[in-house]
Amino acid sequence: MTRILIVAWTLLIAIAAPAAAQCPRSDALGTARTLVVDPAATPRVGTKSFPQTLPLADKEVVLTFDDGPFPATTGPILAALAKECVQATFFLIGKHATEYPALVKRMAAAGHTVAHHSLSHLNMEQTAPDVAIADIERGITADDIALYGRAATPPPVPFFRFPYFASTPALLDLMQTRGFAVFGADLWASDWNPMTPQQQLALVTGRLAKARKGIILFHDPKAQTAAMMPDFLRYLRVNGYRVVHIVPPAGATPGG
C-alpha cells in the first residue's frame, strides 16, 4: 500500500506538470523550474531558523503557505495561483485537512506540494516531548488520510514545518532520523499581524526587494493574504522573479 500511495503522489505531479506547461495564458508568471529537495542532503532549510537554505538563484522564490486548508481563503489563493500557472507548497494543519479533504485533494490535483505542519499547531518548545511527537505524527497521518484515503508509511512527502518555527534539538534530530526535511523560511509576509492587503503587499514586496530571493512564508487562512495574492503574483511577474516549485525525491522513504 505504501508503494501505491507513493506512486499515486508521483502521478499527481506528473499529471499536473503538463497542465502547468500548457498554461493557457502566454503572459502568465508560470513555474520556472522544479527543485527536488532530498531530506538526506538537505535536512533543514530557511535562514530565519537555520544557517542554510535552498540553492536558489537571484530572483528565485519558493511560495509556501501554512495553517490551511480553509475554504474562504484557501480557495481564492488556489484560484490566483492557477491563473498565473504557479505551483506552491502548503504546510497543512491535520485538523483542518480532516475537516476539508476536498481542498487538500484540490491542492494536489493542481500540482501543489502538500506538506505537514502538525495536528493542532502546538508550540513544540512549550510542549512535553511525548505530546509534541504525537501531535506531529497525528498531523502527518491526518494530512495523508485526507489526500490518499489512508495513512502512508513512510509519508510520500517528507516535508515538515514546525508551528511558530518553534522546535527543540531533540525534535529536530527526530525529524532528521525519520528522513524529513524541516522547513523554515527566508522571509515572512508577517500576515499574522492585522493589516490591509495593500499594507501587506508593500511589506512583503519591500522585504523581497532587499532579499532578492528565498522561501517566502504566507498563511492561507488569512483574508488579507488571499486578497493581496493576485497583486503579489503580478508583482513577481512584472519584476522578473521566477517561481521554483519544491518536490520530494521520487519514492522518498523517510527513515529508510
Q: According to the model, what pLDDT value does residue 10 have? A: 42
Given a cut of 80, whether residue 71 has pLDDT beyond it is yes
The mean pLDDT of 90-108, rounded to a whole number, is: 98
Select from 79, 21, 256, 52 the least CA-distant residue to 154. Answer: 256
Tell me if the bond preceding 39 is cis, omega within 30° of 0: no
256: pLDDT strictly greater than 50:
no
| pLDDT at 2 exceeding the cut of 80 | no
Residue 152: band (very low, low, confident or very high) from pLDDT cuts 50, 70, 90:
confident
Which of 96, 116, 117, 219 is flagged as catalytic?
219
pLDDT of residue 26: 86
Express each pLDDT in 6-43 by its tens digit. 444 443 443 344 344 468 888 999 999 999 999 999 99
pLDDT mean over 182-204:
97
Mean pLDDT of 224-235: 98
What integer pLDDT is reported at residue 136 of this predicted model?
98
Lowest average pLDDT, out of 8-17, 75-84, 134-143, 237-246, goes to: 8-17
Does 125 score more than 80 pLDDT?
yes
Per-residue pLDDT for 255 more than 90?
Answer: no
Report, as an integer, the average pLDDT of 197-220.
98
pLDDT of the residue at 13: 40
Catalytic, 66? Answer yes
Query: How much is the pLDDT for 214?
Result: 98
pLDDT band at 206 (very low <50, low <70, confident <90, very high): very high
Give 44-55 pLDDT, tens digit per residue.
999 999 999 999
Percent helix, percent strand, percent coil in the chain, to nearest 5: 45, 15, 40
Report the C-alpha gap between 84 and 79 in whole angstroms: 9
E strand intervals along the chain: 31-36, 44-45, 60-66, 89-92, 113-116, 159-160, 181-183, 187-188, 214-219, 242-247
Q: What is the average pLDDT score of the chain?
A: 91
Mean pLDDT, residues 88-117 taken together: 98
Q: What percent of the chain stands above pLDDT 90?
A: 85
Domains of the chain: which residue ranges? 2-22+30-247
Q: Name the burial class of residue 53, with classes exposed (0-12), middle (13-18) and buried (19+) by CB atoms within 10 angstroms of its CB.
A: buried
Q: Which of 66, 67, 143, 144 is catalytic?
A: 66
Q: For 160-185, what is the mean pLDDT?
A: 97
We find that the CATH architecture of domain 2-22+30-247 is Alpha-Beta Barrel (3.20)
Inform me whether the pLDDT recorded for 211 exceeds 80. Answer: yes
Give the span between the Cα atoms of 101 and 107, in whole angstroms.
10
